[in-house]
Amino acid sequence: MTTPKVTKSARLTYRRATLADLPLLVDHRHRMWSDIATRSEREITEHDPRYRRWARTLLNSGELIGWLAESPEGSVVGSGCVWCHSDQPRPGIPSLVSPYILSMYTEPAWRGKGVATRIVRELVRECREAGYPNVELHGSRFGRRVYARLGFERTWEMRYWIDRSIPRRQALALAKVRRKGKKRLDRGR
């Protein structure tokens, strides 16, 4: 099957996601992990219902906010979310909410046209309007340049694996994809 060609002039509509968009958000989340290629298909499929339950609860409570890009034909070609979760108190930062952008995905045929850039801008706008002073994310290899261009800085977060089998499995998943010849890989969370 050939990928449909999309012209830059195609007009997209951007809107906030509703609970009715949950299946689409779960599907995009699945495809995001598949593209990042640090998880096996089995792990990603097992994660789908857990993410669905988690996202449903938080979309309902307003802790999770999603934005979508829709093509003129009404199909969703890109999406992303921000999770406004509670955080520790820090000196000089009165907010106890730390927004975290996640589940960014653009359909391959629509990449490189500013879809993710616009969605991140909308998510950041939501956070600014809510009065939060900063927004965090973990950038995949695909997304890093997009976020950097928007002004996101690298930070000094660190991680210690208590369960060493997790990074081992991720390395195996990466190696498998490498063997299959996929070039764009990432070490995700």
Ligand X SMILES: CC(C)(COP(=O)(O)OP(=O)(O)OC[C@H]1O[C@@H](n2cnc3c(N)ncnc32)[C@H](O)[C@@H]1OP(=O)(O)O)[C@@H](O)C(=O)NCCC(=O)NCCS
Q: Choose which of 26, 32, 123, 177 interacts with ligand X (CB under 6 A).
A: 32
Binding to ligand X, residues 97-136 (CB under 6 A)? 104-106, 111-117
For residue 153, with 0-12 CB atoms within 10 Å meaning exposed, 13-18 middle and 19 or more buried, which class applies?
exposed
134, 104 in Cβ contact below 8 A? no
Count the residues of the shown chain that bind ligand X, applying the rule CB under 6 A: 21
Please give the Cα distance from 24 to 152 (Å, whole number): 27
Closest to ligand X by CB, 43 or 90: 43
67 binds ligand X per the rule CB under 6 A:
no
How many Cβ atoms sit within 10 Å of the Cβ of residue 70?
Answer: 16
79 binds ligand X per the rule CB under 6 A:
no
Residue with the shortest CB distance to ligand X: 114
Tell which residue, 168, 97, 89, has the closest CA to residue 126: 97
Q: Choose which of 145, 168, 178, 182 interacts with ligand X (CB under 6 A).
A: 145
How many Cβ atoms sit within 10 Å of the Cβ of residue 53?
Answer: 11
Binding to ligand X, residues 149-188 (CB under 6 A)? 149
146 binds ligand X per the rule CB under 6 A:
yes
Shortest Cβ 45–ligand X spacing (Å) = 17
Closest to ligand X by CB, 59 or 120: 120
Shortest Cβ 111–ligand X spacing (Å) = 3
Residue in this structure with the two tokens 């995949």, named with its chain if needed:
140
Shortest Cβ 139–ligand X spacing (Å) = 5
Phi, psi of 34 (to 5 degrees): -60, -45
Please give the Cα distance from 160 to 9 (Å, whole number): 46
38 binds ligand X per the rule CB under 6 A:
no
Please give the Cα distance from 106 to 114 (Å, whole number): 10
Closest to ligand X by CB, 112 or 167: 112
Angle between helices 41-61 and 22-36 (to 10 degrees): 140
Residue ranges in contact with ligand X by CB under 6 A? 32, 35-36, 78, 104-106, 111-117, 139-140, 142-143, 145-146, 149
